[in-house]
Structure 1
Amino acid sequence: MISRRSFLTGVAATVAVGSLAACGKKNNGTGGGKTVTLGFSQVGSESGWRSANTTSIKDAAGAAGINLKFSDAQQKQENQIQAIRDYITQKVDVISFSPVVSSGWDTVLKEAKAAKIPVILTDRQVDADASLWVSLVGSDFEAEGERAAHLLEKVLGQSSGPVNIAVLEGTTGSAPATQRAAGFKKVMDASHPEWKIVASQTGNFTRDGGKQVMAAFLQSHPEANVLFAHNDDMALGAIQSIQAAGRKPGTDIKIVSIDGVHDGFVAMTQGQINAIAECNPLLGPQLMDTVKKVLAKQSVEKWIKTQESDFLAADAASALPNRKY
């Protein structure tokens, strides 16, 4: 079992579950003529990365001839739990979701297992009995945190002086926030006693959150000269606050972030972000392939990792025209 820390949100709420029809094909690739129905619950639409992830899943479902029932949890775990229960009631063939937080899933996943509906996780891991889900299609977030730290090493080069790091964390209790922080600190503790985290707070993976929290950091910790953002959207929001404070992003405050969205690459071409560790949101084709294999009783890996790269500001101009999100 892959264990994760998390928190639970409170009051139960209902979620409207929409349906996206497949594009024509009836053969689901599993050897039968029945159209496969996939129930998918998305975290929300909090960032450019998430929007690209949603588009990839919808497009891939259509291309694969899979009937997709899609719901947006609006960043609330109770909405996702309700959506999963709705999918169980509707007797979909497969359930997939990108969990808002890591824990609190055992009960509903047991309900899916009792209904004999396989569950495939995407993007994020859960702290639950591994027998309750078939596979995870997604990134290694701890490795992303390590990669971000190694990028910072390259950004700082041979420069001397204090390295005072402000951290914009992702949503509290979410797998990427927990694991990216752990990966970054692993490298920092092992190799860089001169690095110091002077401030760390959640910006909830949103641009506005990054802007607001960074403004507070600049007031309470003016000594900060490095920003590690758990995603590009928070980094982009932070850039606005850094500029408003009369400081130069990418120069006065070095910035390393994670994701690799289009706007993040634009900021790199402008020298405002120094480096980005990519987290690939285009999981749709891999997910649909996994759905078909599971229904065909074929073996699948427990963790199907995505392929990702690292980029320094010097790479941004040449890479930007080829970015798909």
Structure 2
Amino acid sequence: MPMSRRSLLTLAAAAAASPLASALAQGMPPLQRKANYRVGFAQTESNNPWRIAQTDSMRSEAQRRGDAFVYTDAAASAAKQVADVNSMIAQRVDLIFLAPREERPLVPAVMAAKRAGIPVILLDRRVDGAQAQPGRDYVTFIGSDFIDQGRRAAEWLDGAVNGSARIIELQGTTGSSPANDRRKGFADYIAAKSGMRIVASQSGDFVRDRGRQVAEALLQAHPDATAIYAHNDEMAVGAIAALEARGRRPGQDVTVVSIDGTRSALQAIIDGKMGATVESNPRFGPKAFETLDRYAAGETVEHWVKVPDRFFDRNNAAQLIGDAY
């Protein structure tokens, strides 16, 4: 018996409301709803507390849910991370969580996953927006507002030094979205402050020892520097060691401000060696898998799932250090 026009319209509406149709309408690979998933997590590196805490959070949430967890560590190599994603594609995981080391080199990996029908969710770092976009080439970006982090660090420093400072900037990984945005947020704020000037800026690659080495060289070239802005706590702790090696007193002779909110940084604040740090929350697990479930259910996922970040200084560091990583 042929279907009535009303029945056909009802079926068409039901199909359009399905997760498959929702994903296809966006040009995105679908994700079928399942009791458990096999997910990939392509981590950029594991050489600092922030990355370790992020990985632990992702793995713990996968285990809690009973999902299979395929993990790779790119060891700070964009080329290896591309190969890692390609390996996950070959293994036919259901979805890939990717923390891109750099914005441009990881675009081909995102596109390869899309062509293979595997959705990608970016964590904590973006890829080049001119080449790949959320909602079209990958599901979404989950992460902090890095520009705002830089601005908050600059705002605090401005108040701490009464609007006058000669600043050394320790940048993160060249070409990464946190380094680009944390620099912009800081620079945009101090641009209107005639007494605030960056006298030297160089990458320490988000690594403590590299931050120490770069700080040593820049302090030697600029002995009159009065402040250090580090793009992460690991480099800030390295800079504190460099200051002490030169006989300068961090927190007194030179004001140090940073981003991340690690236990080491909070302890440095308690010890009076660091002024403040803006949190960059690494505990992505619950939010990442919640977003996976929303996408599988056919919900419209916003292009940027923001992670809220706290601020630590001498007013709350001692109280909150027990919660730090």
TM-score range, shorter chain: 0.7 to 0.9
Question: Please, which runs of 5 or more residues in structure 2 have no aligned partner?
Answer: 1-31
1:316 is aligned to 317
Q: Using the alignment, how far apart are the partners of 1:207 and 1:106 within structure 2?
A: 28
The size of the alignment, in residue pairs, is: 291
Aligned to 1:244: 245
2: distance between equivalents of 1:96 and 1:309? 24
1:14-67: CA deviation from partner (whole Å, max 9, x where unpaired): xxxxxxxxxxxxxxxx7534x301111001012111111111111111112211
Whether 1:176 aligns to 2:181 is: no
Query: How many Å apart are 1:210 and its aligned residue?
Result: 1.1
Partner of 1:24: none
Matches within 5 A, 1:7-156: 32-33=34-35, 35-127=36-128, 128-130=131-133, 131-156=136-161
Report Cα offsets for 1:63-114 as digits up to 9, x if no partner.
1221110000001111111111111111110011100001133333222112
C-alpha distance in 1, partners of 2:240/2:83? Answer: 37
Structure showing greater radius of gyration is 2
- Partner Cα separation in structure 1 for residue 295 and residue 94 of structure 2: 10
* One-letter amino acid of the structure 2 residue matched with residue 302 of structure 1: H
Which segments of 5 or more consecutive residues in structure 1 lack a partner in the other structure?
1-29
**1:193-208 alignment runs, 5 A limit:** 193-208=194-209
| CA distance in 2 between partners of 1:60 and 1:247 (Å) | 44
Q: Is the 8 A contact 2:158 2:196 kept in 1?
A: no
Displacement after TM superposition at 1:301 (Å): 1.4
Q: Identify the residue that residue 270 of structure 2 maps to in structure 1.
A: 269
Does structure 2 conserve the Cα–Cα contact (< 8 Å) formed by 1:169 and 1:204? yes
Native 8 Å contact 1:64 1:288 kept in 2: no
Say which SS state the counterpart of residue 85 (structure 1) adopts. Answer: helix
Aligned to 1:14: none
Change over 3 Å in CA distance of 1:31–1:41 after alignment to 2: closer
Output the CA distance in 1 between the equivalents of 2:176 and 2:139.
20
2:190 match: 188
CA distance in 2, matches of 1:75, 1:239: 24
User: TM-score, with normalisation over the residues of structure 1?
Assistant: 0.86
